[in-house]
Amino acid sequence: MHTVRHEDDADSRLDAAVRLAEDGIPAAAEALGSIASDPRVDPDIRFEAAQRLTEFDPSRSVPALRSIASDEAIDPDIRLEAAHRLTEVDPPQAAVALLAIIGDATVGPDVRDEAVHLLTEVE
């Protein structure tokens, strides 16, 4: 049996959650969502968990991706990647996230330009 909730280390929690997903165990969605939505977890790990959740259960990944994309404390490149993933699972939420990135004065011009480009492709 895989242990997820009682692991202290975020990397270990992610590894365990990924194993659950690979085994097709439904609890993987909750485990991955918990990691992806936890602001105490390193943003790279949060994003990886959200990506894995997108592959396992796309509809359950939307809140986590939205949270990452809208968190101004997270590196703009990671926020942009989260918004990009949102375009695949929830285009209206992706548009909101991309507009927030575009409007964020702390985001550099390269990221802002890429967000504009992605926004033009949102259906």
Q: Tokens representing 94?
A: 């992706």
Position 18 in a domain: yes
Domain count, the chain: 1
Successive 10-residue mean pLDDT values, the chain, 123 residues: 52 92 92 92 94 92 94 94 95 96 95 96 88
Position 28 in a domain: yes
Position 68 in a domain: yes
Query: Residue 8: what pLDDT?
Result: 53
Position 3 in a domain: no
* Secondary structure (H, E, C), the chain: CCCCCCCCCHHHHHHHHHHHHHCCCCHHHHHHHHHHHCCCCCHHHHHHHHHHHHHHCHHHHHHHHHHHHHCCCCCHHHHHHHHHHHHHHCHHHHHHHHHHHHHCCCCCHHHHHHHHHHHHHCC
Query: Residue 123: what pLDDT?
Result: 80
Residue 102: domain span: 10-121
